[in-house]
């Protein structure tokens, strides 16, 4: 057994050369120098598989965001290269994702723009603002802000978003017009246009959806029974959407279904991603600012949680603040090359990891794959039915919908349940932005509420011991002139008055009391409000002829109290141990018990 | 020594007849039936003194709120009667107060109304909205919400308000026009009009101010040396403002100073308070809603703190939720009788208390006194110079200005200092509403920030004992394969990730580690987010071949963990005591140490 560890203190770490600092901001320098042929092979294999998965997804999510399909492809090129340079996760696959695409649609929709061109510029601007925010948060090391999004809120939000996304895609499956950013609007709009349903579109949409669900559930067992290895079967099943895209595109082309009312993707420009600039109109920035903040936080939280899960599997670390910079530069890259907001995708990153990606270079190779698609494959997408893309979205997002969080939260704590339920209802009822911001406020509000009424137990001496226990739970003896209250929470402004009310209430209904002892063993901090409340309690008790004492005050709390005048004014004493207090205030009582 | 107390449980208390319930909402029924001649005499004496003090104050604060002086008188009649019925404090003197008057001016000023009549209706409506809010908060027993206003924020806000109020009255002292709700605007506006200064007004203003300061500091010693008792001297000194009012009014009348540019109060209607109704225009309600909320909270907090201080001096209790109802009905009464927002005044209540008020009836008698003033004295106020009223305000509010809170906060904690300083700067720079709302948000933000990075200590065994202490502070021994971390805070969504990062960071830089033990002796609660993070930590450590254990988990926390699947998945064990953990995980180590 060694005596003491040797912790690497921050000061020691910063003692390294500036090289370390540069490497922190450019993780590529770290993994790049150890790059070899084996790693290259692994990364290339993963990149091919992710590329195949990403092509239909990027088209579909652009559609979900209300943008032309090529913007989905563009958002899958430069951002991936930026992440490969600045990101710290070895497996995170960046690009357009469902929830952020939905949030983009909501954000840009709020602006009430007329032309598709303005709409596209707004999406580009949103990516730029969000990119700058993420980068700045990363440079300022403010990644911890994302922690204020509690798990129940995220889970509720993701589930509700999945429902909203699926509902928003029904119009493409039915071949009708519909709009809305809340469930009620969407369903109302759908039912209003239901009579315009296009039968052939429905056939394509329903068949694609059914096929994709089968690929997810039924194909893998089939491949396994055909003798494929588990991992290969898994990965091959991911190519399902590409098959659906190919088959339905071919069908539309062969039978001229676009002439019979089937909405198709149409002309997708061929070529390199364009160089674009965000708008710098103050109106647009003002209109997008809050949305960009929400998108940044949601995107970051989602991305970091995937990255952390995957990194831990290989005993690797990701650096949350550097991740902010990685995602921030990716979004800035998106805004400069005709893309829209991106983040790390869950399913995609797991595929990348399972396919063997070992470094962020796999992402760069994926970007090259998508670039080839943008240069060569776009003419083939002309006859691709929108219903097929909608089907891929629906199948992908329904896996996000998970109401089991409600049951789990209910079983664990009513407060957490309230946060999940409220987030789901508000997101469905008022849209993604209201949903997530209310969720955060509700979580914080409930936390403050809980800490504002801390558990305070009246304690007594357990006979024959020096232990003090809650008199409601244990056989413990008390003295009529002494009340001892154990406070099970740090004291701060929101619970200080509660403590005061409780103490005054307790002493006013019992004229015999001459001493109040506050047992502070669980008090980790006393802020200035609580200090002043303690002073007020002391004065008020003094006015009633009662003495106030403290016991078992922790070292750091005591240090701070010494810096105030409280200890001079305190009518009683500060006892190291509660037992000392009782011994001093009522020696007879203890002898009696013993 | 008795064994166990007999606490009056809430269920027992609610066992009383409905009579108790009615009495709770009508405290007058409680004290009213014990009312006798002695109490009557005490209350009458206090009422006379408070009336004399209140007449100039109510005129002056109406002026501060930008309202005609009679509204100040009206706000000092019906509200006092309502409070006498519904209030629980024996000594609180309700009526127009400085800070709420300033906030009224800011709130109504925001609406940008044109005519004085509209302005008055808006102030009446503000009182109504605030009254309804306070009453509803009281009925819903939400008084604890006021606790989120921390002491440093209140102190900073009151100090900054005092400065703003004093600055806003300078125009009356100088006899010029000026406006603005922030210090910069006010001073800018004053200096722009400085050339229009009226010399005679300045003489009246400066002399009144000097006289009132002298009354405060110099009169009492003089009266004492003349043989008066301390308390009488104190109370007589409170009549100073009435003297100043009488003298300057007489001077204006005798020398016709109003013809020489001295602004006077002018005609004040004589008669009973009018019956008025608030506006029900949605625009006005929308414009005043947030202001009414802020006024309600500030008014309530101020009032309750005075009431509590005075009640404790006589070992009495006030009921904060019933206080909300008392103040709420007072404000509704104000809105129905031509008044504007009121609350309990600090100086006035202390005078009431010192003068011997024993029941809220003293307030009712004061109301009758002011009613007589409104019926009989208003003609005498015609020549009262506004400069005199401004002087009474300035002298009154400068006692609110107290920068010592900055020094105290700095000495005690930097976080509290930041909250005070920000509140003062924001209130002076952006007005009362921005000031107080940012103050609240800053307090909450700083609290969340602190709890989001809890203190976590790596602990080791103190040789020869069963105690575990921070290895950075004590000589304590550890085992290379075991890391024990003591968490000094409840675990919740905002600090769960912090803990995870900390643990992963610790184990990744030390390949020898095989066990992580989390010592939970200071963990009062684990919310669902933290539970899921613990699950993630467990899984990630498992992926690295490390076992996770818990020790010293509190009873209620353990009960909750049992309701989840966490304990089934936990790779390690839950130990009752940290010593058991070390004994089990590394028996040799302990033998070695011992």
Per residue in A281-318, pLDDT (tens digit) is 999 999 999 999 999 999 998 898 888 878 877 777 78
Which residues from chain A sit within 8 angstroms of residue B524, using beta carbons?
454-455, 488-489, 522
How many of the other CB atoms lie within 10 Å of CB of A213? 15
Average pLDDT taken over every residue of chain A: 86
SS3 content of chain A, % helix, strand, coil (to 5): 65, 5, 25
Residue B144 and residue B68 in contact, taking contact as beta carbons nearer than 8 Å = no
SS3 content of chain B, % helix, strand, coil (to 5): 65, 5, 25
Query: DSSP letter at B53?
Result: H
Query: DSSP letter at B217?
Result: I
Q: Residue A587's pLDDT is what?
A: 67
Q: Where are the alpha helices (DSSP H) in A215-319?
A: 220-225, 230-237, 240-255, 282-313
Per residue in A118-174, pLDDT (tens digit) is 999 999 999 999 999 999 999 998 887 777 888 888 888 889 988 998 998 899 999
Q: Which of B315, B490, B544 sits opposite A544 (nearest CB)?
A: B315
Q: Residue A9's pLDDT is what?
A: 43
ipTM entry? 0.75
C-alpha distance from A271 to closest chain B C-alpha (Å): 43
Largest CA distance in chain A: 101
Q: Residue A299's pLDDT is what?
A: 92
How many of the other CB atoms lie within 10 Å of CB of B280? 9
Residue A397 has pLDDT above 50, yes or no: yes
Q: Residue B10's pLDDT is what?
A: 45
Which residues have CB under 8 Å from A469's CB, separation 6+?
A: A459, A460, A462, A476
Asked if the Cβ–Cβ distance from A147 to B543 is below 8 Å, we say no
Tokens of B441: 């948000």
Q: Which of A528, A534, A560, A568 to mutate to test the interface with B (most CBs of B within 10 A)?
A: A528
> In angstroms, rounded to a whole number, what is the distance separating the alpha carbons of residues A257 and A37?
48
Torsion of CA A457, A461, A466, A469, to 10 degrees: -30
Q: Where are the alpha helices (DSSP H) in B509-586?
A: 528-543, 555-562, 566-569, 578-585
Query: DSSP letter at A273?
Result: P
Which residues from chain A sit within 8 angstroms of residue B495, using beta carbons?
147
Q: Residue A112's pLDDT is what?
A: 84
Which residues from chain A sit within 8 angstroms of residue B544, using beta carbons?
312, 315
C-alpha distance from A442 to closest chain B C-alpha (Å): 12
Written as one string, the DSSP assignment of A341-410 is --EE-HHHHHHHHHTT--STHHHHHHHHHHHHIIIIIGGGGTT-BHHHHHHHHHHHHHTT--THHHHHHH
C-alpha distance from B563 to closest chain A C-alpha (Å): 6
Residue A350 and residue A310 in contact, taking contact as beta carbons nearer than 8 Å = yes
Which residues from chain B sit within 8 angstroms of residue A413, using beta carbons?
527-528, 560
Q: Which of B8, B313, B501 sits opposite A320 (nearest CB)?
A: B501
Asked if the Cβ–Cβ distance from B312 to A529 is below 8 Å, we say no
Asked if the Cβ–Cβ distance from B144 to A452 is below 8 Å, we say yes
Q: What is the band of A7 on the pLDDT scale with cuts at 50, 70, 90?
A: very low
Which residues have CB under 8 Å from A585's CB, separation 6+?
A: A479, A481, A482, A515, A517, A549
Q: What is the mean pLDDT, run by run of 10 residues, along chain B of 594 residues?
A: 42 54 78 82 87 89 92 95 91 92 91 89 96 95 81 87 90 88 88 89 93 84 78 74 89 91 88 91 91 92 84 78 94 96 90 85 92 89 90 86 88 88 92 86 86 87 80 83 90 88 86 91 86 90 91 85 91 88 76 50
Query: DSSP letter at A112?
Result: T
Q: What count of Cα atoms within 13 Å lies in the side-chain half-sphere of residue A258?
A: 17
Domains of chain B: 15-443 (no CATH), 456-593 (3.30.750.24)
> In angstroms, rounded to a whole number, what is the distance separating the alpha carbons of residues A53 and A51?
5
Asked if the Cβ–Cβ distance from A2 to B543 is below 8 Å, we say no
Closest-CA residue in chain A for B487? A524
Residue B41 and residue B356 in contact, taking contact as beta carbons nearer than 8 Å = no
Per residue in A99-121, pLDDT (tens digit) is 999 999 999 988 888 888 999 99
- Nearest of A329, A272, A196, A413 to residue B493 by alpha carbon: A413
Which residues have CB under 8 Å from B79's CB, separation 6+?
A: B94, B95, B330, B331, B333, B334, B339, B342
Q: Which of A504, A525, A592 sits opposite B317 (nearest CB)?
A: A504
C-alpha distance from B521 to closest chain A C-alpha (Å): 9
Residue A128 and residue A339 in contact, taking contact as beta carbons nearer than 8 Å = no
Cα–chain-centroid distance for residue A462? 47
User: What is each CA distance from A462 to A58, A459, B284, in whole angstroms?
Assistant: 68, 9, 62
Which residues from chain B sit within 8 angstroms of residue A452, using beta carbons?
144, 147-148
Q: Residue B4's pLDDT is what?
A: 41
Place of tokens 């500060």: A574
Per residue in A321-364, pLDDT (tens digit) is 899 999 999 999 999 999 999 999 888 888 888 888 888 889 99
Higher per-residue confidence, A539 vs A32:
A539
C-alpha distance from A557 to closest chain B C-alpha (Å): 11
Q: Which segment, A405-414, A451-460, A464-473, B289-298, is predicted with the most confidence on average?
A: B289-298
Tokens of A563: 């810096």
Asked if the Cβ–Cβ distance from B149 to A493 is below 8 Å, we say yes
C-alpha distance from B573 to closest chain A C-alpha (Å): 20
Backbone phi and psi for residue B63, each to the nearest 5 degrees, phi listed first: -60, -45
3 state SS of B520? coil
Which residues from chain B sit within 8 angstroms of residue A527, using beta carbons?
150, 413, 415-416, 447
Q: Residue A11's pLDDT is what?
A: 45
How many of the other CB atoms lie within 10 Å of CB of B483? 23
User: How would you label B226-264 residue by residue, b for 16+ Cβ within 10 Å and e otherwise?
Assistant: eebeeeebbbebbebbeebbeebbebbeeeebbeeebbb
Q: Residue B2's pLDDT is what?
A: 40
Q: Residue B202's pLDDT is what?
A: 93
Residue A516 and residue A503 in contact, taking contact as beta carbons nearer than 8 Å = yes
Count how many residues are written for chain A: 594
């Amino acid at each position: 057994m060694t005596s003491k560890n040797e912790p690497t203190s921050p000061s020691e770490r910063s003692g390294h050369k500036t090289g370390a600092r540069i490497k922190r901001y450019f993780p590529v320098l770290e993994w790049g120098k150890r790059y070899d042929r084996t790693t290259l092979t692994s990364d290339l294999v993963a990149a091919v598989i992710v590329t195949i998965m990403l092509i239909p997804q990027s088209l579909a999510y652009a559609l979900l965001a209300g943008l032309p399909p090529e913007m989905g492809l563009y958002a899958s090129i430069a951002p991936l290269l930026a992440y490969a340079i600045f990101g710290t996760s070895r497996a995170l696959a960046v690009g357009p994702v469902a929830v952020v695409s939905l949030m983009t649609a909501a954000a840009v929709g709020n602006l009430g723009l007329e032309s598709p061109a303005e709409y596209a510029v707004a999406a580009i601007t949103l990516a730029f603002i969000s990119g700058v925010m993420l980068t700045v948060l990363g440079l300022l090391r403010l990644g911890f802000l994302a922690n204020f999004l509690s798990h129940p809120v995220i889970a509720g939000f993701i589930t509700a978003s999945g429902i909203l996304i699926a509902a928003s895609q029904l119009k493409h499956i039915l071949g009708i017009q519909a709009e809305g950013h809340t469930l009620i609007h969407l369903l109302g709009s759908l039912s209003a246009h239901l009579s315009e349903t296009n039968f052939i579109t429905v056939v394509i949409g329903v068949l694609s959806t059914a096929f994709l669900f089968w690929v997810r559930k039924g194909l893998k067992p089939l491949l396994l029974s055909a003798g494929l290895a588990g991992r290969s079967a898994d990965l091959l099943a991911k190519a399902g959407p590409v098959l659906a895209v190919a088959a339905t595109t071919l069908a539309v082309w062969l039978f001229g279904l676009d002439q019979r009312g089937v909405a198709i993707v149409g002309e997708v420009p061929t070529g390199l991603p364009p160089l674009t600039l965000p708008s710098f109109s103050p109106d647009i920035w003002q209109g997008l600012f809050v949305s960009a903040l929400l998108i940044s936080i949601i995107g970051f939280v989602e991305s970091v949680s995937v990255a952390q899960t995957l990194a831990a599997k290989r005993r690797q670390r990701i650096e949350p603040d550097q991740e902010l910079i990685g995602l921030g530069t990716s979004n800035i890259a998106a805004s400069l090359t005709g893309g829209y907001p991106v983040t790390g995708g869950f399913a995609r990153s797991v595929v990348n990891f399972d396919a063997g990606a070992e470094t962020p270079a796999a992402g760069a190779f994926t970007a090259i794959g998508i670039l080839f698609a943008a240069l060569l494959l776009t003419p083939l997408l002309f006859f691709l039915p929108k219903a097929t893309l909608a089907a891929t979205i629906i199948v992908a997002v329904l896996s996000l919908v998970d109401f089991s969080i409600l049951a789990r939260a209910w079983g664990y704590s009513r407060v957490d349940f309230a946060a999940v339920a409220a987030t789901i209802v508000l997101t469905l009822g008022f849209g993604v932005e209201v949903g997530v911001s209310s969720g955060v406020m509700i979580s914080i509000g409930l936390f403050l509420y809980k800490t504002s009424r801390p558990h305070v137990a009246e304690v007594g001496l357990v006979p024959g011991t020096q232990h003090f226990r809650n008199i409601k739970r244990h056989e413990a003896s008390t003295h009529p002139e002494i009340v001892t209250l154990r406070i099970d929470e740090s004291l701060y402004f929101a619970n200080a008055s509660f403590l005061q009310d409780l103490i005054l209430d307790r002493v006013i209904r019992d004229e015999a009391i001459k001493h109040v002892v506050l047992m502070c063993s669980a008090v980790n901090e006393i802020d200035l409000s609580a200090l002043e409340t303690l002073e007020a309690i002391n004065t008020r008790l003094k006015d009633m002829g009662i003495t106030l004492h403290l016991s078992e005050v922790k070292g750091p709390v005591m240090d701070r109290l010494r810096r105030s005048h409280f200890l001079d004014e305190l009518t009683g004493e500060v006892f190291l141990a509660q037992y000392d207090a009782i011994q001093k205030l009522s020696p007879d009582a203890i002898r009696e018990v013993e």
